Structure 1
Amino acid sequence: MASTVTSSKKSPEETRHAESRSARPGYGRLLRTRGAWTFLLPGFAARQPFAMLTLSIVLLVQHTTGSYGVAGAAAAVTGVSMAVFAPYSGRLADRYGQRAVLLPGVLVHAASGATLTVLALADAPLWALFAAAVPTGASVPQIGPMVRARWGVKLKDSPLMSTAAAFESVTDELTFVLGPLLATALCTAVDPAAGLVTEAALTLVGGLLFAAQKSTQPAVGRAADGHARVQHVSALRVPGVRVLIVVFLGIGSVFGGMQVSLAAFTESIGEPGLNGVLYGVFAAGNMLSGLACGAIAWKVAPQRRLLVGYTALAVTASGLWAAHSVLVLAGLGLLVGMCIAPALVTGYTLVEYLVPAGARTEAFTWLTGSVALGQAAAVTVSGQLEDRLWGGAGFLVPMGGTVLALATLLALRSRLATPPRGRTVVRGVGHREHAAVD
């Protein structure tokens, strides 16, 4: 009698999908990803200068000119140049490879940073400082977005992608805690130029080591899944990316408004030393919630998480201007910080769904640049409000920035609808086509 035998063996493809479905997100599992440490360690060293640059310029130029106005202007030129040129750096990295962009970029940055240092020490005129500040900012290597793009190659459709986004958010926050501390220590205890010199050296060494990790960078000419790459398009042609840019501008307004307004508040009560404590509480809330976001196995769609999280951010940020005591402000600052990380993590996660693999580095740089641009604008507006209106008026900037961004998000939330997994959007505005992925 013939009998039917059903094999219990699974194909490698079925096994891979089963493991992907059963894998729970966790930092231990994420950091055990093969080859991850080869780009994480040099990447951390290379992105550290990003948080040192602005403060190092301020401390050096203020020392040589005696003017915070001149120092702030030079730093602002650097920041705006970085925000403007970063997306183009990301686009070139997508098209020609991260290594091809990093090698000349870190050399230009080190040279222009050294030039800016020499000009400042030589009491050069303001126009000369601006001339050196433009290439210094424009050539800042976009290591954070490049690391995120490498995670995309390593993890593909893994449930660990959200964990990786949270890990990178926490790493960014740690960078912005350690970078200013290192810059301040070098400029005050060693030499006013030591911060900028160290920043340029770390960028050069870390960037070269990161660029040397060729095996983990996204392939040029092929998509992350190994298939022939679709026609390259700008990340800006994806409607959801433009919505996320507005969302991240609002987040930048929180960072910039908090920096200025907390300093003004602590000075007004005669306790300027509390500025670091209050901002540390805000940063701690950001880091803790970022860690939590990566440890949770989310079952809620990312666009819905963004709507809920950003609403919470706008509500908490709207209460800052009414705080008149240190304890209340510390509590609100903690809540605001806890609401920022989920918005950042979810925004970066959405890029993985919305943007073709060949444009993701550019998309990440648009978002990073948006935070920097929102922060620069908020610093300027908050300072003017603090000077011209009442103490604490600068806190109106985080409220205004997040409320406007939330209104945009609510009105255009349909543009964040993600295509089904296994299908990749290859064109943007008005011509959304899909290409099946095996």
Structure 2
Amino acid sequence: MTSAVTTDKSARPGYGQLLRTPGALGFVLPGFAARLPFGMLTISILLLVQHVTGSYGSAGIVGAVTGVSMALFAPVMGKLTDRRGQSTVLVPVVIAHAAAVSALIALALMGAPLWALAVAAVPAGASVPQVGPMVRSRWAAKLEGSPLLPTAAAFESVTDEFTFVVGPVLATALCTGIHPAAGLVTEATLTVLGGLLFAARRSSQPKPVARTANGEKHASALSFPGLRVLIVAFIGIGAVFGGMQISMTAFAEEIGNPGANGMLYGVFAAGNMIAGITMGAVAWKIGPRRRLILGYVGLTAAASVLWAVHSAILLGALGLVVGLCIAPALITGYTMIEQLVPAASRTEAFTWLTGAVAFGQAGAVTLAGRLTDAHGSSYGFLVPMAATALALLTLVALRAKLAPKAPSRIVNSSAPAVSTVVRNTVNERGMGHRVPVTVD
């Protein structure tokens, strides 16, 4: 049997074509509703704890514990999702998250000591539902081998960043205009409603695969070296998010306009969203490994001058540039998962990357919070600079591990063995371009 699948080299798969994929809107829309609270969580915790303790350092510690807990438990949640199914995992998780956040709010308002708030932050972070990786896994299952997959990765990054545009602004408005706990109350409510709605869309979720065709357990996604390199890169990206959040919050206080924080961070996130839209609309002729490194070079350069800015207008403009530089690295990293990790472990792989962002964010929030308390917001902005520089050095040194493996090395091992030969042109000058494929 012989068949041919050809994609025009000049074709530019667009968002319209992506969203016309059968069944796509059925999980995209509820997936967005379920992810919006994620953009509210950290900033809501920071604002509430800073209000009740008067310390950015204390707020940073609680925010960091939340982020580390999420980073540690996200891969566990991802592995369970790959093995048990998305809806089975998601329903109890969103309920547990709402309960944990409610407990944190109660303790904060009762004036509980810092150690009690930190302990309460553990289940709040551990139970953050991993809806973003679940949506990406649904796209990967529907579009495996399709030139639309990079467009889907860009679309998901845009969706994520839109939540980071709306989320911080909404949380800041609620916390400063209504009540310091209003942001977390809204976050918990939206998590339950959006999560249950997304879980109800069962038809598009990937089928759970507990074991290989030989009855063996699947290897952990972390066993693939390319993923480990991407984790380092995403920790650096997370440090930018965390460092920007705490330092911009302190900067807004220093200039006497606390409400400007949400707008400043929103502009930063808007830059990421704009770059994400552009990434999905461009037919790239350079390979993803090179795009990742070049994007990271720009991110490191932009983050290295944040500390020197003392004007709100200049900080907003530079924040926009930093946001524009994040998207190429973030989107490309997610896109590379298809080539580096087998299908049966992709949700886990995506959660490792999401967890890496949370871990970097947590560390940056803690360190930037202490530096900001001691020396002011300018010192807090040194954290994104240092983190991105270290991650860039790691990327350059270990770039060989990001080379895509042969298809036979990454196929879903649960599939039955057949006599097939699938060949793609995958190289550093144009990964993602499909040449005619012959199946024998």
Output the CA distance in 2 between the equivalents of 1:386 and 1:72. 10
From the superposition, tell whether residues 338 and 356 of structure 1 become closer, same or farther in structure 2 (CA, over 3 Å).
same
Instruction: For residue 212 of structure 1, report the CA deviation from its aligned partner.
Output: 1.6
Matched, 1:399 2:381: no
Output the CA distance in 2 between the equivalents of 1:264 and 1:119. 24
Q: 2:220 aligns with which of 227, 234, 251?
A: 234
Considering Cα pairs closer than 8 Å and 6+ residues apart, tell me whether 1 or 2 has the greater RCO. 2
Output the CA distance in 1 between the equivalents of 2:118 and 2:10. 54
Matched, 1:186 2:174: yes
What residue is the counterpart of 2:156 in the other structure?
A: 168
Matched, 1:136 2:124: yes
From the superposition, tell whether residues 52 and 265 of structure 1 become closer, same or farther in structure 2 (CA, over 3 Å).
closer
Name the aligned partner's letter for residue 69 of structure 2. Answer: S
Name the aligned partner's letter for residue 305 of structure 1. Answer: R
Instruction: For residue 174 of structure 1, report the CA deviation from its aligned partner.
Output: 1.0
User: Which blocks of at least 5 consecutive residues in structure 1 are unaligned?
Assistant: 1-9, 428-434
What residue is the counterpart of 2:186 in the other structure?
A: 198
Output the CA distance in 2 between the equivalents of 1:330 and 1:249. 23
Name the aligned partner's letter for residue 102 of structure 2. Answer: A
Q: Which moved more, 1:393-402 or 1:82-91?
A: 393-402
Task: Output the TM-score relative to the length of structure 2.
Answer: 0.85
Matched, 1:24 2:12: yes
Q: 1:216 aligns with which of 204, 207, 214?
A: 204
From the superposition, tell whether residues 379 and 121 of structure 1 become closer, same or farther in structure 2 (CA, over 3 Å).
closer
Output the CA distance in 1 between the equivalents of 2:97 and 2:235. 25
Matched, 1:285 2:271: yes
Residues 93 and 128 in structure 2, CA contact (< 8 A), matched pair in contact too: yes
Residues 149 and 360 in structure 1, CA contact (< 8 A), matched pair in contact too: yes
Q: 1:33 aligns with which of 21, 24, 41?
A: 21
From the superposition, tell whether residues 386 and 129 of structure 1 become closer, same or farther in structure 2 (CA, over 3 Å).
closer
Name the aligned partner's letter for residue 12 of structure 2. Answer: R
Matched, 1:48 2:33: no
User: Which blocks of at least 5 consecutive residues in structure 2 are unaligned?
Assistant: 414-419, 423-438
Q: 2:234 aligns with which of 217, 239, 248?
A: 248
Please say which structure displays the higher CA radius of gyration.
1
Matched, 1:96 2:84: yes
Instruction: For residue 302 of structure 1, report the CA deviation from its aligned partner.
Output: 0.8
From the superposition, tell whether residues 381 and 310 of structure 1 become closer, same or farther in structure 2 (CA, over 3 Å).
same
Instruction: For residue 199 of structure 1, report the CA deviation from its aligned partner.
Output: 1.9
- Alignment identity in percent? 63
Residues 46 and 60 in structure 2, CA contact (< 8 A), matched pair in contact too: yes
For the residue of structure 1 that corresponds to 2:381, the secondary structure is helix
Output the CA distance in 2 between the equivalents of 1:48 and 1:310. 26
Residues 222 and 228 in structure 1, CA contact (< 8 A), matched pair in contact too: no
For the residue of structure 1 that corresponds to 2:410, the secondary structure is strand
What residue is the counterpart of 2:417 in the other structure?
A: none
From the superposition, tell whether residues 106 and 228 of structure 1 become closer, same or farther in structure 2 (CA, over 3 Å).
farther
The C-alpha deviation readout for 1:211-262, integer Å capped at 9, x for no partner, is 1211111111289xx9999851111100001100110111112222223334
Output the CA distance in 2 between the equivalents of 1:23 and 1:229. 42
Matched, 1:338 2:299: no
The C-alpha deviation readout for 1:55-113, integer Å capped at 9, x for no partner, is 33344445556665554433332222111111111111112211221122112112222
Name the aligned partner's letter for residue 117 of structure 1. Answer: I
Residues 146 and 361 in structure 1, CA contact (< 8 A), matched pair in contact too: yes
What residue is the counterpart of 2:432 in the other structure?
A: none
Residues 238 and 357 in structure 2, CA contact (< 8 A), matched pair in contact too: yes
Q: Which moved more, 1:330-339 or 1:208-217?
A: 330-339
Structural RMSD (CA): 3.1
Residues 183 and 195 in structure 1, CA contact (< 8 A), matched pair in contact too: yes
Instruction: For residue 413 of structure 1, report the CA deviation from its aligned partner.
Output: 0.4
For the residue of structure 1 that corresponds to 2:203, the secondary structure is helix
The C-alpha deviation readout for 1:299-357, integer Å capped at 9, x for no partner, is 32111111221122222222333445555544433322111100000000011110001
What residue is the counterpart of 2:64 in the other structure?
A: 76
Task: Output the TM-score relative to the length of structure 1.
Answer: 0.85
Residues 304 and 382 in structure 2, CA contact (< 8 A), matched pair in contact too: yes
Output the CA distance in 1 between the equivalents of 2:400 and 2:355. 24
Instruction: For residue 147 of structure 1, report the CA deviation from its aligned partner.
Output: 0.5
Residues 424 and 436 in structure 1, CA contact (< 8 A), matched pair in contact too: no
Instruction: For residue 267 of structure 1, report the CA deviation from its aligned partner.
Output: 4.9
From the superposition, tell whether residues 259 and 203 of structure 1 become closer, same or farther in structure 2 (CA, over 3 Å).
closer
Residues 247 and 381 in structure 2, CA contact (< 8 A), matched pair in contact too: yes
Q: How many residues align?
A: 417
For the residue of structure 2 that corresponds to 1:214, the secondary structure is coil
Output the CA distance in 1 between the equivalents of 2:13 and 2:215. 29
Residues 419 and 425 in structure 1, CA contact (< 8 A), matched pair in contact too: no
